[in-house]
Amino acid sequence: MPKLGLTMEGGSVVRWLKAPGDRVALDEPLVEIETDKTVTEIGSPAAGILGRILAVDGARCAVGEGLALVLADANAASPQIQIDVAGDDPRARDGSEGGGAGVVSAPATRRLAERLGVDIRRVKGTAEGGRVLPQDVQAAADSRGVDHGPVEGRQLEGIRRIIADRMTASARDVPQVTLHRPVEIDGAREWIGQRRSAGEAATLTHALVVAVVEALRLHPALNARYRDGRVFEQASVNLAIGVDTKRGLIAPVIRHAEEMAVSDLIRAVSDLTERTRGGRARPDELEDATFTITNLGGLGVHTFDPLVNPPEVGVLGVGAAHATFALVDGRPTAVEVVDLALTFDHRVLDGADGARFLEAVASGVSRLSKKGSG
What CATH number is associated with residue 41?
A: 2.40.50.100
Query: Phi/psi class of residue 263: alpha, beta or left (left: φ > 0; alpha: ψ in -120 to 50)?
Result: alpha
Give the model's pLDDT for residue 75. 47
Query: Do 121 and 165 lie in a common domain?
Result: no
- Domain stops at, among 19, 41, 76: 76
CATH of the domain at 248: 3.30.559.10
Q: How far apart are CA 22 and CA 35, in angstroms?
A: 26
Give the residues of the chain that fall short of pLDDT 70. Answer: 6-7, 37, 74-104, 144-153, 370-374
CATH number at residue 117: 4.10.320.10
pLDDT score for 103 = 61
**pTM value > 0.75:** no
Write a three-state SS string for the chain. CCCCCCCCCEEEEEEECCCCCCEECCCCEEEEEECCCCEEEEECCCCEEEEEECCCCCCEEECCCCCEEEECHHHHCCCCCCCCCCCCCHHHECCCCCCCCCCEECHHHHHHHHHHCCCHHHCCCCCHHHCECHHHHHHHHHHCCCCCCCCCCCCCCHHHHHHHHHHHHHHHHCCEEEEEEEEECHHHHHHHHHHHHCCCCCCHHHHHHHHHHHHHHHCCCCCEEEECCEEEECCCCCEEECEEECCEEECCEECCHHHCCHHHHHHHHHHHHHHHHCCCCCHHHHCCCCEEEEECHHHCCCCCCCCCCCCECEEEEECCCEEEEEEECCEEEEEEEEEEEEEEECCCCCHHHHHHHHHHHHHHHHHHHHHCCC
Domain contains 166: yes
pLDDT number for residue 11? 86
Mark whether 110 and 177 lie in a shared domain: no
pLDDT score, position 145: 56
* pLDDT score recorded for residue 90: 38
Q: Range of 181's domain?
A: 159-371
- The answer to whether residues 21 and 165 belong to one domain is no
Examine the fold and report which residue of 76, 102, 122 is the final residue of a domain before the chain moves on. 76
pLDDT digits (tens, 9 = 90+) for 295-323: 999 999 999 999 999 999 999 999 999 99
- Which residue, 238, 212, 234, is CA-closest to 224? 234
pLDDT score at 95: 37
Co-location of 138 and 178 in the same domain = no
3 found inside a domain? no
Q: Give the residue numbers annotated as catalytic, written as ranges.
A: 346, 350
The number of distinct structural domains making up the chain is 3
The predicted pLDDT at position 152 comes to 61
Angle between helices 134-143 and 107-116 (to 10 degrees): 10
Residue 212 and residue 193: Cα distance in Å, rounded? Answer: 20
